[in-house]
Structure 1
Amino acid sequence: MACPENMFFLIVLFMSGVLACFGQRDLNTTMPDRLDVLTGSCMQIPCSFDIPGENKYKLNTTIQTSGVWIKEIPQFGYHPDNVIFNSSETVNRYQGKITGNMSQKNCTTVFFNVATSYTNRYFFRIESQPFRATDPDKSVYIVVRDLPSSPIITVSGEVKEGTSVSFNCSAVAPCPEHPPELTWTLPTQFTTENQLQENPDQTKSVLSTVTFTPSYLHHEKNITCTAVYPVGTSNKTAEHAMMLNVSFSPKDTLASISPADPVSVGSCVNLTCSSTANPPVTTFTWFMISGGNLTQNSPVGTVCANQATAGEEPEEPAEDQSEEIHYGDIDVSKLRPKETPAAAQDRVQGQESAYAEVNVTRRGAQEPPLNNLDGLYAQVDKRGAC
Structure 2
Amino acid sequence: MIKVLIFLLLQQAEKVRATWSVTFENPDHCALKGTSVEFKCSYSYPEDESVRETAWFKGMLEDDTWKRVRLSVLPSYTNRSEYQGDHINNCSLVLHDLQEDDTGHYYFWFDTNKYGRRSKQSVHLSVTELKASIRPIRVRAGDRVTLECTTTCQNHRTIWFRDGRRVTELEFHAQTEHDGNYSCTIEGLNSLQSDPVALDVLYSPLNVSIEVSGSGPLLVGSSVTLTCRSAANPAADTYTWWYRRDVSNSSLQLQEGSGQVLSISSVELTHTGAYICQAGNPVGQSRSAEVLLTVEDTVHPFIVLGIGIKVIFLLVLTPFIIWTW
TM-score range, shorter chain: 0.3 to 0.5
User: Which structure's residues are more often helix, by fraction?
Assistant: 2
Q: What TM-score do the two structures reach when normalised by structure 1?
A: 0.40
User: Which structure's residues are more often strand, by fraction?
Assistant: 2
